[in-house]
């Protein structure tokens, strides 16, 4: 727990939330500043700032909960689709430094954009650059 983390304060019960799911590892609640009706956050109860910092078993529980909640959230607000995403680090737009997955119900003509619209200046990478990145990622997993 981090005393200055708003999500840790929610887990501790110091700040109320509209909880939609809870178990020993994960808490899911409606976003206080929703981007659409039903916007839900799924967090580990233990404090981890980024996915990179989260133990694999805890990350797996968060993803499993997201998988279970997506159809329930969509059905609750009659949404035909949803965007499921993590902002992983401040430069990616993470505003609360506690891992959290978003379930954002999507509707026709909601003004939302696809994930590929997040970046307006996409890099033009050569085959050689792509090959080097591929090799570096694979090497990082060894």
For the stretch 41-68, pLDDT in tens is 999 999 999 999 999 999 999 999 999 9
Question: What whole-number distance in Å separates Cα of residue 65 and Cα of residue 43?
Answer: 9
Instruction: Tell me how crowded residue 47 is: count the other CB atoms within 10 A of its CB.
Output: 18
Say whether pLDDT at 2 is over 80: no
Look at residue 131 and tell me if it is in a domain. no
Q: What percent of the chain is modeled with pLDDT above 70?
A: 100
Mean pLDDT of the chain: 95
Look at residue 1 and tell me if it is in a domain. no
**Cα distance from N-terminal residue to C-terminal residue, the chain:** 31
| Tally of domains within the chain | 1
Question: What whole-number distance in Å separates Cα of residue 40 and Cα of residue 35?
Answer: 10
In the predicted model, what is the mean pLDDT of residues 4-22? 96
Per-residue confidence (pLDDT) for residue 130, from 0 to 100 = 94
Per-residue confidence (pLDDT) for residue 1, from 0 to 100 = 77
Phi, then psi, of 27 in degrees rounded to 5: -130, 135
Per-residue confidence (pLDDT) for residue 49, from 0 to 100 = 97
What's the CATH number where 17 sits? 3.30.428.10
Per-residue confidence (pLDDT) for residue 115, from 0 to 100 = 85
Look at residue 132 and tell me if it is in a domain. no
Look at residue 120 and tell me if it is in a domain. no
Mapped onto helix, strand or coil, the DSSP state of residue 80 is: coil
* Catalytic status, residue 100: yes
Say whether pLDDT at 7 is over 90: yes
> Is the CB of residue 124 less than 8 Å from the CB of residue 116?
no
Look at residue 29 and tell me if it is in a domain. yes
Catalytic residue among 39, 47, 100, 102: 100
Look at residue 78 and tell me if it is in a domain. yes
In the predicted model, what is the mean pLDDT of residues 83-104? 96
> Is the CB of residue 57 less than 8 Å from the CB of residue 69?
no
> Is the CB of residue 42 less than 8 Å from the CB of residue 58?
no
Domain residues for 99?
6-112
DSSP element (H, E) containing 132: helix 127-140
Per-residue confidence (pLDDT) for residue 123, from 0 to 100 = 92
pTM of the model: 0.93
């Amino acid at each position: 727990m981090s005393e200055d983390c708003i999500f840790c304060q929610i887990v501790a019960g110091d700040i109320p939330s509209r909880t939609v799911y809870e178990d020993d590892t994960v808490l899911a609640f409606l976003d206080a500043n929703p981007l659409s009706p039903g916007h839900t956050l799924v967090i580990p109860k233990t404090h981890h700032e980024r996915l990179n910092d989260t133990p694999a078993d805890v990350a797996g529980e968060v993803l499993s909960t997201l998988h279970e909640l997506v159809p329930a959230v969509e059905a609750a607000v009659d949404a035909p689709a949803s965007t499921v995403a993590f902002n992983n680090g401040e430069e990616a737009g993470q505003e609360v430094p506690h891992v959290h997955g978003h379930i954002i119900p999507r509707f026709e003509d909601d003004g939302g954009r696809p994930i590929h619209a997040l970046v307006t200046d996409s890099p033009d990478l050569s085959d050689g650059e792509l090959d080097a990145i591929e090799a570096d990622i694979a090497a990082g997993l060894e």
